[in-house]
Amino acid sequence: MSETPYQRILLTGGTGNLGSSLRPHLTSLCEKLRVADRVDPGPARAGEEVRTVSLEDREGMLALLEGVDAVVHFGGVMKEDWELLLTGNVIGLQHLYEAARIHGVRRVVQASSNHATGFYPAGQVISPSDPPRPDCLYGATKVWGEALARLYYDRYGIESACLRIGSAFPEPRGRRMLPTWLSYGDLARLVRSCLLAPKVGYSVIYGVSDNRDVWWDNSVAANLGYQPEDSSEPFRAAIEAAHPPLAADDPDALYQGGRFVAVMDDSRSDRDCN
């Protein structure tokens, strides 16, 4: 395979934590990386071009997808705010897929979330073939995103890899994240595998590192060539020393989605979903 298998890759959400971490890893896969966000992505780096556009802007999205071969979609909303989720994660995602159809884009790597299945019990091993069990409105919009990807694959042949990202941080932040942690390095390896695999069809994959405790059967990712190199295990001793054992009735101990299963009042509606 050539050094640049794609002419142009679009990265949405390019100013976010995960999008920013992916930027330097994508330029080697394309002649030009188009970095987009609703806020100014800043000056273009070597091998990049930048655009400022909102997902809910249908005409703007149509222009954004012109000349694109593949999309790495990390834009959208991570707040538990229905109005924002509706415009960013529901309407905006449909704009992206419709623009991809019009311009002949053949592959999308889409950031879904472990919160699409967060109501499963902690410790139960599930696979992408198990029914969704979203733990919050954010998780429900990610189920919609997976369903939309399925539709556009079956009807139009646009391949999609939907990544149910676990807890993606530089390091795990608590006991619940020991099984769900995804390092930034493994995130880049996962996205790269989905872009370089000869065929992904419609695939749902968990974004998780090589952690000791396993909640998710990730054989689909392995079949696409994903080999995680990091693990939460080196952080275990420090986390267990800093965080007392979880109470038996603590949502973080009961559910894979942890505290996000709880009904939120307005004062907590803007919290991030991780």
Report the greatest alpha carbon distance in the chain.
Answer: 54
Are the C-beta atoms of 247 and 254 separated by less than 8 Å? no
pTM of the model: 0.95
Q: Is residue 1 part of a domain?
A: no
What lies within 8 Å, CB to CB, of 15 at 6+ separation is 37, 39, 40, 41, 42
Residues of the chain with pLDDT under 50: 1-2, 266-271
Q: Is residue 15 part of a domain?
A: yes
Q: Is residue 272 part of a domain?
A: no
List own/partner pairs for 18-21 with CB under 8 A and 24 or more apart.
18/74, 18/111, 18/165, 18/168, 18/184, 18/187, 19/74, 19/75, 21/184, 21/187, 21/188
What is residue 269's predicted lDDT score, i.e. its pLDDT?
Answer: 43
User: How far apart, in Å, do the first and last CA atoms of the chain sit?
Assistant: 35
Q: How far is CA 220 from the centre of its chain?
A: 16
Q: Is residue 82 part of a domain?
A: yes
Of 78, 121, 80, 61, the C-alpha closest to 256 is: 121
Query: What single DSSP character describes residue 37?
Result: E
Positions annotated as catalytic residues are 138
Q: Is residue 271 part of a domain?
A: no
Residue ranges making up the domain that contains 78? 6-266
Q: Is residue 253 part of a domain?
A: yes
- The domain that holds 98 is classified in CATH as 3.40.50.720
What is residue 273's predicted lDDT score, i.e. its pLDDT?
Answer: 55
Q: DSSP string of 167-202?
A: EESSS--STTHHHHEE-HHHHHHHHHHHHHSS---E
Q: Quote the number of domains for the chain.
A: 1
What is residue 268's predicted lDDT score, i.e. its pLDDT?
Answer: 43
Q: Is residue 262 part of a domain?
A: yes
